[in-house]
């Protein structure tokens, strides 16, 4: 992030009124409880946001060398992303063209090897073309289709990879990031090292999990024995089109207001800048390293969560390794033991049907922005579908 932007953001802290209203929204928002627990809403949301929108699938460094691959669930569409020999990326539906068996699982590397279906060994190049059908005895000679893998659009920009799961759709990274990428300089996204990654499944609606990261109002209560010692319960908040960017603040950020000249003020390392990449992810620059969270809804009430931590470079010593391991352990412990259990309890309450709405206060602008955006996207999709139904 540019030095002048950092100074301007720190300046906002000094201008705060006694209630530290650095980033209040203009008005609060009431969101119907059903947004979290209504299965019809979820079905439309998954279609509108996850199947018909491009989404973040990882950092370039997670799939850096020729033959490296990622597999993802994009709103129920199985996607395979493969790094090509010329270092470009290609994305496919992760399904064999014979009888649709998944070709690869997890993330990994094929190296120079072709992709072989585990079912009957149909063999594909990393470019998706069908190379061979071993032992087929001429049994497909009358199939005119060349049976290459089904292609999907993939784009790589500023060290981030986005895929569109819909056939024929294209990804526009400029549209998705909307200028947020101008802050990425200095974050080291393109040279980061994937230190560790954890995949977990939670019996919780995906938006409740995302909400965990969208306001620090709860920090002084839920995290009183952990990160409250380090972080303030306030945030700076800005938006770049659809991208919400809440900034979590370490207590040390305020010290420099008195101790340094304004020209020496810095946001980092006193802050964590989070970029909410709707619908499914969060990229967080912590001042010295990067974390990403991806949320893959399985159904209305369960979500696959993938948490990754990236060190600035590969640890060069056991001590460095232990340092990043400690960071990762704390990150997971705070989220898994302090944040997510409350979301599960909230979900149970919302499912009771006794609660009409939840309220996002003016001090929770990221919640207001993200849920406002999600609701608008689903409503627009419903209107479009309604129009199409009428024309039929």
- Interior CA angle at 109 toward 107 and 114, to 5°? 120
* Binding piece for ligand FES, criterion CB under 6 A, among 94-102, 124-132, 204-212, 218-226: 94-102
Name the minimum Å distance from CB 70 to ligand FES.
Answer: 20
* CA dihedral for 301, 241, 90, 294, sign (positive or negative): negative
Selected from 7, 24, 76, 98, the binder of ligand FES by CB under 6 A is 98
Residue 107, C-beta contacts closer than 8 angstroms, at least 6 positions apart: 58, 62, 63, 68, 69, 70, 71, 197
Name the minimum Å distance from CB 130 to ligand FES.
Answer: 10
Contact of residue 339 among ligand FES, Fe ion, none (CB under 5-8 Å per partner type): Fe ion
Name the minimum Å distance from CB 125 to ligand FES.
Answer: 15
CA distance 259 to 193: 34
Backbone angles phi, psi at 167, to 5 degrees: -60, 130
Name the minimum Å distance from CB 83 to ligand FES.
Answer: 22
- CB neighbours of residue 216 within 10 Å: 23
Question: Applying CB under 6 A, what is the total number of residues that bind ligand FES?
Answer: 8
Contact of residue 99 among ligand FES, Fe ion, none (CB under 5-8 Å per partner type): ligand FES
Which of 89, 96, 58, 94 minimizes the C-alpha distance to 76?
94
Residue 368, C-beta contacts closer than 8 angstroms, at least 6 positions apart: 25, 28, 29, 360, 362
- 61 near ligand FES (CB under 6 A): no
Q: Which is nearer to Fe ion, 226 or 325 (CB)?
A: 226
* Binding piece for ligand FES, criterion CB under 6 A, among 28-36, 56-64, 113-121, 238-246: 113-121
CA distance 44 to 379: 9
Q: Is 109 left (phi over 0), alpha (psi -120 to 50) or beta?
A: beta
Q: Which is nearer to ligand FES, 120 or 178 (CB)?
A: 120
Which of 98, 41, 94, 90 minimizes the C-alpha distance to 72?
94
Contact of residue 119 among Fe ion, ligand FES, none (CB under 5-8 Å per partner type): ligand FES
Q: Coil, strand or helix: which one is 200?
A: strand
Selected from 3, 12, 43, 99, the binder of ligand FES by CB under 6 A is 99
Name the minimum Å distance from CB 122 to ligand FES.
Answer: 4
Contact of residue 122 among ligand FES, Fe ion, none (CB under 5-8 Å per partner type): ligand FES
Contact of residue 50 among ligand FES, Fe ion, none (CB under 5-8 Å per partner type): none
* Binding piece for ligand FES, criterion CB under 6 A, among 77-85, 92-100, 275-283, 302-310: 92-100
Indicate the Cα dihedral angle 7, 11, 13, 14, nearest 10°: 140
Q: Which is nearer to ligand FES, 121 or 254 (CB)?
A: 121
Per-residue binding letters, 301-340, with Fe ion (x by CB under 5 A): --------------------------------------x-
Selected from 21, 119, 167, 376, the binder of ligand FES by CB under 6 A is 119
- 44 near Fe ion (CB under 5 A): no
Ranges within 183-242 binding ligand FES (CB under 6 A): none
Selected from 69, 122, 265, 301, the binder of ligand FES by CB under 6 A is 122
CA distance 105 to 100: 14
Ranges within 49-68 binding Fe ion (CB under 5 A): none
Question: For the chain, where are the alpha helices, taking DSSP H only?
Answer: 3-14, 34-37, 39-45, 173-177, 206-211, 219-222, 252-259, 318-333, 340-351, 365-391
Separate counts of helices (H) and strands (E) for the chain: 10, 19
Name the minimum Å distance from CB 325 to Fe ion.
Answer: 21
- 228 near Fe ion (CB under 5 A): no
CA distance 351 to 209: 16
* Binding piece for ligand FES, criterion CB under 6 A, among 32-40, 117-125, 192-200, 381-389: 117-125
Q: Which residues bind ligand FES (CB under 6 A)?
A: 96, 98-99, 101, 117, 119-120, 122
Q: Which residues bind Fe ion (CB under 5 A)?
A: 339
């Amino acid at each position: 992030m540019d030095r002048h932007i950092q100074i301007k953001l720190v300046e906002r802290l000094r201008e705060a009124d006694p209630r530290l209203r650095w980033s209040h929204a203009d008005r609060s928002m009431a969101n119907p409880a059903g947004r979290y627990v209504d299965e019809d809403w979820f079905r439309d949301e998954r279609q509108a946001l996850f199947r018909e929108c491009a989404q973040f699938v990882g950092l370039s460094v997670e799939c850096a060398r020729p033959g490296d691959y990622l597999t993802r669930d994009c709103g129920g569409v199985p996607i395979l992303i493969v790094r090509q020999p010329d270092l470009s990326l290609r994305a496919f539906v992760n399904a064999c063209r014979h009888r649709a068996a998944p070709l690869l699982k997890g993330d990994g590397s094929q190296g120079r090897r072709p992709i072989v279906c585990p079912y009957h060994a149909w063999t594909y190049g990393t470019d998706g073309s069908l190379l061979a059908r071993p032992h087929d005895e001429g049994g497909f000679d009358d199939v005119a289709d060349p049976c290459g893998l089904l292609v999907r659009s993939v784009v790589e920009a500023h060290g981030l990879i986005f895929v569109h799961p819909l056939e024929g759709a294209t990804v526009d990274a400029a549209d998705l990031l909307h200028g947020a990428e101008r802050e990425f300089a200095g974050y080291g996204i393109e040279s980061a090292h994937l230190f560790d990654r954890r995949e977990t499944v939670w019996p919780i609606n995906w938006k409740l999990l995302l909400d965990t990261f969208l306001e620090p109002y709860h920090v002084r209560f839920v995290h009183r024995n952990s990160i409250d010692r380090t972080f303030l319960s306030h945030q700076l908040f800005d938006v770049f089109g659809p991208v919400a960017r809440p900034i979590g603040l370490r207590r040390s950020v305020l010290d420099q207001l008195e101790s340094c000249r304004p020209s020496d003020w810095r946001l980092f390392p006193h802050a964590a800048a989070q970029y909410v990449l709707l619908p499914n992810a969060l990229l967080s620059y912590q001042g010295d390293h990067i974390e990403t969270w991806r949320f893959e809804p399985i159904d209305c009430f369960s979500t696959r969560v993938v948490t990754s931590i990236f060190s600035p470079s590969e640890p060069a010593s056991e001590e460095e390794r232990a340092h990043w391991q400690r960071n990762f352990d704390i990150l997971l412990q705070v989220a898994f033991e302090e944040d997510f259990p409350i979301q599960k309890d909230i979900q149970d309450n919302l499912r009771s049907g006794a609660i009409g709405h939840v309220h996002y206060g003016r001090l929770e602008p990221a919640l207001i922005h993200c849920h406002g955006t999600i609701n608008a996207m689903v409503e627009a999709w419903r209107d479009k579908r309604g129009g199409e139904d009428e024309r039929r």
